[in-house]
Structures are given as C-alpha cells and as structure tokens.
Structure 1
Amino acid sequence: MESLIGAETLWIPIDDTSAVGAARRMATGLAGRAGFDEARTGELAIAVTELAGNLHRHAHHGAVALRLTRPYLSDSDTADPAVEVVALDAGPGLEDFEAHLRDGYSTGGTLGVGLGAVTRLASTFDAWSQPGRGTVVAARFAAPRRPLTRIGQPAQPGGERAAGLTRPMAGESACGDAYAVRRTADGVVAVLCDGLGHGPLAARAAQRAVEVFLDTADEDVTALVTRLHRELKPTRGAAVGVVRHDVSRGLVQFAGLGNIAGAVLWAGERGRHLTSMPGIAGHQARTIRSFDYPAAENALIVLHTDGLNSRWSFDGQWGLAGHDPLVIASVLLRDAGTRRDDAGVLVLKCRP
C-alpha cells in the first residue's frame, strides 16, 4: 500500500491489577472494529493480558499503547487491518531477553509462558531491553493470523520502513500531534505536525495537516509546506515538518515551520540535525525553504515534536538501529518524552 497514517493511540498506565483488565477490554474492542473473528480476538486478548500482567508484576512506570492500523508501509504490504500493541516500562530491564521467550523460563515464580505465547500469537514481534533502563515490546496482530516475523534478528532485516507514536499530554484524551508517510517513485515523503496548544482544537489542526498532505501529489517538500501553510489558515495552526528520502540520490530533503526537530543518523553517530524555519503553519511564515542532507544506506531519519526533549540521544543503545521503527520510536518517547505536552515521534529507515 502507499501510505502510513498515525492512528489514534489508546494509552493505559499499568498501575494496578484493574488496568490489566482494562487493557484487555480495549484491545478486544479494537479487534471487533478490525473484523477479527472470535479465535483471533481471543489470541489478542491473551497476548495483551500477558504483556500488561508482566508490567504490573515487574516494571516501573509501565504502560500499554494500543491502536488499530490500516495498510502500512512495509516490504510486504497487506490490506489486512491490524492491532498494534506496545508495552513499555522504565523497569529493571532484562539481561537475556531471548531466554525470557522460551517457555518455562521464569525469574518470578510463574510458569514462564507469557512472552513465548505472545511471539507465537503475533504477526510481527520485536523488543528492546537493557538492564537498568527498561523494556519495550512491540507486536502487531493482523487478521487473519500470519506467520511470525521476528524483526530485530540479524537474519531478518525487517519489513517495516516507517513507524511513529504519539501520546497526549497528561489529562488530555486528544493528541495534537499527528503524522503520515506515503511512498513516492524513488523513496518516501512524510509529515509530522504539532497543532498549536492542546486538546481537540490542536488535534483538529494536526489532522487537517495530514489530510492536506495525503491529498497532495506533489513531492517537493517546500511546495508541500507552502500548501500546508495556506490550507491551515482556518485552524489554530501547527508546527509542521515535511521530509523526503530520495533513495536513488542518497539524499534527504527537509522543510519545516516551527518546533519540529529531528536528525539524520548513521553509523552510530548523532548525524545531522534537520533545520526548521521559525513560524506557525496557517499563521506566520516569513520564509519557507528546504535543506538537503546526505543519507547513507541504512541511515535513520528521526522527526519529533517539542514534546520530546531536544537533547535525546541513543546513548549507547545503537543496537536499536536494527530494530522495528516502532520499537525505536517507543524507546525515544519513553526516554525523552514529557507528560506536560503532547509528544510525537516518527522514525524512517533509509533502505532501498
């Protein structure tokens, strides 16, 4: 398929036993909307219960994020809807994550079947864990069930080229950050937007930016930001960033207005910061211009709103680069996100 659109994400803090049941009920509700049959819905419920239960028993500041996705940008595109599940925490982390995937392995006196069951039931599964820093698990459940793809293993380069994650500020149900990605003849082009302020009006501005982006065939990033500036005038406005990866030229082009930040990273280095111009799309734009950056094969493009600390870094976690972009986005949101603002992060892999 041609596009990836950031879907509404349900965030459930796992702070007591009742939250495990709440996560399960929300997941089965999404399964019903996706058209899962009874058996597949039951499998999803088992997996979410295991992941949320692990957070309750072992983690600190754990949460489960759930969303319903439509066709997404990958090497093996599928029209099947899927439910994505992310479990993340800032707990003790795991020394040997692979050992915890084996049935019968347990450090807490349980049967040790939880994570092994999740890997068998998921369509794709990936995870990242570091001792003292916590764990992130990301799984997709498609309907119908598909053979498991383990994305983080070296022998499996992984199908996902792009993924993002958004989270509303504490106390808000609507998130003012949104993103979308679409394929071009020679790569991808993507937008990340941050509606001015918070709540439903900010969310509406960001969603309008996504609608305009998806309805525009133009691939020139300067032209796209110019149109977004024009079309967002009836809204409260937004910070916007548009990035294009040209595979054939090994080039990243970026144009932005306002506080959309990011970098092109490669070979374990910080790489090059992306430059956004001052302004608010829809209201203020003295100058709209683009900047070019080299992008080696297997580089990462990371965009984020000001809901993430601009001083984030992988800080010794460069093994992350080989993982699913959803895991990468989740780790960055966990480590650098603030609860005093909407937060959004988008990760693109520069692969042919």
Structure 2
Amino acid sequence: MIETKSYSKTKIITCQQSKHGELVCGDSYYTIETDEYFFTGVADGLGSGAEAKKASEQAVHTFREHHHQSLKHIVFHCNQNLQTTRGAVIGALKLDFKSGLITFAGVGNIQCLLLYPDQTFKGAISVPGYLSGRRYRMREMSFPFFRQSMFLMYSDGISIEREAIKRYAEEQDPEKMVQRILPPVETEYKDDLTLISGKYF
C-alpha cells in the first residue's frame, strides 16, 4: 500500500487505495527527478472504476512525455489529450533545484501542502474545474523551498484538517507523516485515494 522511492535529492512516499467495491483505483500518478528538477503529477479520473483509470492514465502519459516543460504547457497538453476520455482533475508540482523554487498548478480538487523545517506550512490552491478538452482556467503558484522541506499532494479520497497539518509537519519524515494521515486499514474508502509525500534533502 505504501511505496518508497529514493532519488538523489528527494525521498518520495506514495500510497494508493481504490474506492470500496472497485477493482481498480481511478487515480494515477507520476514522479521523476533529473539533475535540474523534481516533478510529480497526480490525476484523478472523473468518477471511479475502469473509465476513471483510463482518463488518469492518459494524464500520466502526458506527464511522462512533457515533464521537462513548464507546468502551463503540461496542463495544456493534458487537456488536449483528455478529449477522448471522461476527463480528470490534475495537480502538477515541480521543484527547480537551481532556483530553489517549487511551483504548483492544479485544476480540480488535488490538494498540495508545503511543510517547512520550522514547522510552518503553506497551501498551494487548485482552481475549480476539470480537464476534458474544454476551456479551463489555471494558475501557477511558486514558493521558496528549502532543503529539509516536505510537500504533500493528495486526491479527494482523503481530507486533512488544518489543525492536524502542523502535527504532521513535526514528524519531519515523509513516511511517518503518511502513516499518521492514512485512515485505519479496515476503512472502507468512499472514493479513490492517492497520497504523495516528499522531502527535499
């Protein structure tokens, strides 16, 4: 359920769970680190089941092909490539190692939190809507991102109360943070869930 991937400058923890009664999770995600940046994207296909998975995987294919571009261009290509699907909400995050800036763009309800070593945090906000080849709004939000900082991205299969965020930030460990956030293993999920936590070393 929980997977760990260690790159040279980032450590990433991911968790996915399908909606109760569904055989597949309608969410998909992608992560990559290069010498210049780290990128991750989360897509939540509308609805659940196989057709939702098809849509989210199309978005991930776009992430894989275009992660070297700006988030503005990545979202544009996602929208184009989702025309033949039921659509998806997406969140994309890129950490530029040279500038020390982390940038987020989201369309829909993918949530993103940035958690700093001093236990302060910031929320990067998605714009309402979804991508399916139609007109859409988007914005990019950029923030300074220091070494030992963490990020958290998650789909709407989970809800995190604002008062709990600081407690999670105190962990300073992305895996422990994910373990604290996740509901008990016997939970019957009402929606697909994807949770990605990362730390910049």
Select which of 55, 59, 71 maps to 1:209.
59
| TM-score, length-scaled by structure 1 | 0.52
- Counterpart of 2:180, as a letter, is V
Structure 1: distance between partners of 2:169 and 2:141: 26
Pick the aligned partner of 2:182 from 333, 341, 344: 333
270 and 197 in structure 1: CA distance in 2 versus 1, 3 angstrom threshold: farther
Provide the residue aligned with 2:17 in structure 1: 167
1:237 deviates by 0.8
Greater fraction helix: 1
Report the TM-score when normalising by structure 2.
0.87
The answer to whether 1:316 aligns with 2:167 is: yes
Q: Secondary structure at the match of 2:98?
A: coil
Q: Could you list the runs of 5+ residues in structure 1 that have no partner in the other structure?
A: 1-64, 76-158
From 69, 74, 77, give the equivalent of 2:7. Answer: 74
CA distance 1:288–1:316, change in 2 (3 Å)? closer
Which structure 2 residue ranges, 5 or more long, are not aligned? none
Structure 1 range deviating more: 227-236 or 209-218? 209-218
1:284, distance to aligned residue in structure 2 (A) = 4.3
Structure 2 letter corresponding to 1:74:
Y
Retained in 2: the 8 A contact 1:299–1:350? yes
> In structure 2, what residue type is equivalent to 1:206?
S
User: Which residue identity lines up with residue 331 of structure 1 in the other structure?
Assistant: R
The aligned residue for residue 234 of structure 1 is 84
**Per the alignment, do residues 252 and 177 of structure 1 end up closer, same or farther by CA in structure 2, a change over 3 Å counting?**
same
Are 2:180 and 1:180 aligned? Answer: no
Partner of residue 156, structure 2: 306
From the superposition, tell whether residues 326 and 317 of structure 1 become closer, same or farther in structure 2 (CA, over 3 Å). closer
CA contact (8 A) 1:279 1:285 kept: no
In 2, Cα distance between equivalents of 1:338 and 1:269:
32
The superposition leaves residues 130-153 of structure 1 with CA deviations (integer Å, 9 ceiling, x where unpaired) of xxxxxxxxxxxxxxxxxxxxxxxx
| C-alpha RMSD over aligned residues | 2.4
1:220 to partner: Cα distance: 0.9
Cα distance in 2 for residues equivalent to 1:66 and 1:331? 12
Query: Which runs of structure 2 are paired with 1:1-352 in the superposition (5 Å)?
Result: 65=1, 72-75=5-8, 161-311=11-161, 313-314=164-165, 316-321=167-172, 323=173, 325-334=174-183, 339-351=189-201
Q: Deviations over 1:78-122 (max 9, x none)?
A: xxxxxxxxxxxxxxxxxxxxxxxxxxxxxxxxxxxxxxxxxxxxx
The ranges of structure 1 where at least 4 consecutive aligned residues each deviate by more than 6 angstroms after the TM superposition are none
* Residues 245, 253 of structure 1: 8 Å contact kept: yes
Contact 2:150–2:198 (CA under 8 A) maintained in structure 1: yes
Provide the secondary structure at the position in 2 that maps to 1:286: coil
May I ask how many residue pairs the two structures share in their alignment? 198
Say whether the 8 Å CA contact 1:165–1:326 is kept in structure 2.
no
1:17-73 residue CA offsets vs partner (Å, 9 max, x unmatched) = xxxxxxxxxxxxxxxxxxxxxxxxxxxxxxxxxxxxxxxxxxxxxxxx377x9xx44
Deviation at 1:293, TM superposition (A): 1.4
Percent identity, aligned pairs only?
A: 24
Q: Rate the CA distance shift 1:263–1:217 in 2: closer, same or farther, 3 A.
A: closer
Select the structure of larger CA radius of gyration: 1
Instruction: Answer whether contact 2:43 2:89 (CA < 8 A) is retained.
Output: yes
Query: Structure 1 residues 261, 217: CA separation in 2 closer, same or farther (over 3 Å shift)?
Result: closer
Higher relative contact order (CA 8 A, sep 6+): 2
- Cα offset, 1:221, TM superposition: 0.9
